[in-house]
Amino acid sequence: MRWVFVPLGMLFGFLLSRAGATTYDYYAKLFLFEDFQLLWVILTAAAVGMVGIALVARLRTRALLGGGIDLRKKPYTRSLIVGSLIFGIGWGLAGACPGTALAMLGEGKLGAAFSIAGLLCGTYLFGRRAGAQPTDISRVDR
Site residues for other proteins, 107-136, by CB under 8 A, read: 107-112, 114-128, 130-136
Answer for the pair 105, 116: CB distance below 8 angstroms, yes or no: yes
Total residues contacting other proteins by CB under 8 A comes to: 125
CB atoms within 10 A of CB 23: 19
141 forms part of the interface with other proteins (CB under 8 A): no
Core vs surface per residue 86-98: b (16+ CB within 10 A) or e: eeeebbeebbbbe
Closest distance to other proteins from the beta carbon of 58 (Å) = 12
From the centroid of its chain, how far is CA 124?
18
Closest distance to other proteins from the beta carbon of 43 (Å) = 7
Closest distance to other proteins from the beta carbon of 95 (Å) = 5
1 forms part of the interface with other proteins (CB under 8 A): yes
SS3 73: strand
| Amino acid sitting at position 103 | A
Closest distance to other proteins from the beta carbon of 72 (Å) = 8
Closest distance to other proteins from the beta carbon of 141 (Å) = 12
10 forms part of the interface with other proteins (CB under 8 A): yes
Q: Which of residues 11-70 bind other proteins (CB under 8 A)?
A: 11-25, 27-32, 36-50, 52-53, 55-56, 61-70
CA distances (Å), origin 86, targets 15, 43, 45, 83, 100: 26, 22, 24, 5, 18
